[in-house]
Amino acid sequence: MQVEVLPNAGSPLLPYLEDKLVIVIDVLRATSTMVTALANGCQSIIPVLSPEDAMERRLTLPGSLLGGERNALPIEGFDLGNSPFDYVPEKVGGKRVIITTTNGTRAIRDASAAPKIWMASFLNMHSIVRAVLRQFENSDKLQGVVVFCAGTEERFDLPDTLCAGMLIDGLGAKATLNDLGEAARILYRSSESNLVDKISDSVHGKRLISLGFERDVVYCSTPNILPVIPVFEEGEVVWLTED
Amino acid sequence: MQVEVLPNAGSPLLPYLEDKLVIVIDVLRATSTMVTALANGCQSIIPVLSPEDAMERRLTLPGSLLGGERNALPIEGFDLGNSPFDYVPEKVGGKRVIITTTNGTRAIRDASAAPKIWMASFLNMHSIVRAVLRQFENSDKLQGVVVFCAGTEERFDLPDTLCAGMLIDGLGAKATLNDLGEAARILYRSSESNLVDKISDSVHGKRLISLGFERDVVYCSTPNILPVIPVFEEGEVVWLTED
């Protein structure tokens, strides 16, 4: 199985996404928040690129909520920020959420040529690894996996890369890797026992902590607690129904 | 000291290069070859972006040589390829070489807004580390270091990142790092005892070995054998004369 890791949204994308399973990772915090929202009964998440797009989209979806961030902070007039702790069952249960974030929603849109797009985070990694392995046992149509780290403002992001490394570690020796995939595996293995510290010390982690979101950073660094596989289909992120 | 690592030529560059010392790294093979050429008595190296630029430039520099590669192979009609073993004293002693390579010469040109641009490789790392430390003892004008990995065709390259990690490791605990800098340090420390294997197993390393350049890969993975600091000044790479 060919596994290629891309460092950030805005990475040059080759046309071969057309036969790849793409796994989008934005640990701090978009994909962690989407996983949490679905686990808490959210009906679907609609990623859009800008706050203006979000408000326009809501006009066609009565009863939906608006969520997201700019510069890590909630957007004025929106119902929810980008903290997973905003997405509690009482707020998002049974609802659609239209969401816009700086890096994560952009990566999902960048990947839209792919036939399958899933969202990973530390929270749901065990389920993602099992689903990827099952996918490649059953299908000869997919030609590999592209792990698409959202990054931070078009830069390499250590939390996303560590999460990609955990995925690669879980896939085992069968995976053929690009250089960033090999780097991610080494980084994860050397940081496995102190993930929270490494993520807290990253540029994005420190910024969130300085804004009062330390609880988010610790939560988003916790592996394997939610059995959700969010899949992007027809413009919405929903809980994957296994065949 | 602020140390920021950039992953590849074509990375988004902030205007702040204007007060930075930029260190360009292209382990396989441009900066390794430049270091070797200068150590072997080459007068200067003139990096240009295309083979056409190189041929045009030679018209104004009688007696100069043409060097470089496309797709890792020598360019038709050129005097030298991109292998450090082409740059022997009998060929390059006392000569100027006009050179064009896919990633390395592009990174040097990308960095041209910086007041100081040096070239690093494993071969000259000890001298580079000492010179950087001395530079920041003596100068309050420079606001930090940007380690500019050339990468491979606008992608992350493990050999360049390991070399950046060796530089950061040498600078010690004083350096404040971006996420890729921290990753480079972890990667170097975990690979320090088997650099040749890691570099040989990288995508670029495997490609060079398949083309018959295994000797180049092993040589370029050898730390601290040449006491050269190549500096890019007024369009030419020359041996830095220490103040």
pLDDT tens digits along B163-217: 999 999 999 987 899 999 999 999 999 999 999 999 999 999 999 999 999 999 9
Q: How confident is the model at residue B14 (pLDDT cuts 50, 70, 90)?
A: low
State how far residue B38 is from chain A, nearest Cα, in angstroms. 30
Asked if B182's CB is within 8 angstroms of A186's CB, the reply is no
Angle between helices A179-191 and B158-171 (to 10 degrees): 40
Considering only the beta carbons, identify the residue of A7, A191, A202 that sits closest to B7. Answer: A7
Q: Which among B185, B189, B192 has a CA at the least distance from the CA of B221?
A: B192
Cα–Cα distance between B113 and B15 in angstroms, integer?
A: 8
Give the model's pLDDT for residue B242. Answer: 59
State how far residue B53 is from chain A, nearest Cα, in angstroms. 26
Give the bridge partners for A70, in sequence order.
A73
| pTM score above 0.90 | yes
* B156 neighbourhood in chain A, CB within 8 Å: 7, 156, 178-180, 183
- H/E element, B46: strand B44-47
**Burial grade of B176 (CB within 10 A; 0-12, 13-18, 19 or more):** exposed
Give the model's pLDDT for residue A15. Answer: 56
Angle between helices A158-171 and B179-191 (to 10 degrees): 40
* Contact (Cβ atoms closer than 8 angstroms) between residue B209 and residue B111: no
Q: Which among B136, B165, B130 has a CA at the least distance from the CA of B149?
A: B165
Asked if A12's CB is within 8 angstroms of B7's CB, the reply is no
Q: Which among A128, A139, A133 has a CA at the least distance from the CA of A175?
A: A133
| Residue A238: Cβ within 10 Å count | 17
| Residue B222: Cβ within 10 Å count | 14
Q: DSSP character for A121?
A: -
Residues whose CB is less than 8 angstroms from the CB of residue A89 and which lie 6 or more positions away in sequence, other chains included:
A40, A41
Q: Which residue of A has its CA nearest to B204?
A: A179
Which of A2, A6, A146, A186 is the best residue to mutate to test the B interface, defined by the most B CB atoms within 10 Å of its own CB? Answer: A186
Cα–Cα distance between B235 and B238 in angstroms, integer?
A: 10
Please give the ipTM for the structure prediction: 0.92
Q: Which residue of B has its CA nearest to A7?
A: B156
Cα dihedral B114, B118, B122, B128 in deg (nearest 10): -110
DSSP letter string over B145-161? EEEEE--BTTB--HHHH
pLDDT at B219 over 70: yes
Cα–Cα distance between A181 and A185 in angstroms, integer?
A: 6
Mean pLDDT by 10 residues, chain A (243 residues): 92 78 97 98 96 96 96 94 98 98 90 94 97 87 93 93 98 91 97 97 97 98 97 94 58
A16 token code pair:
């071969």
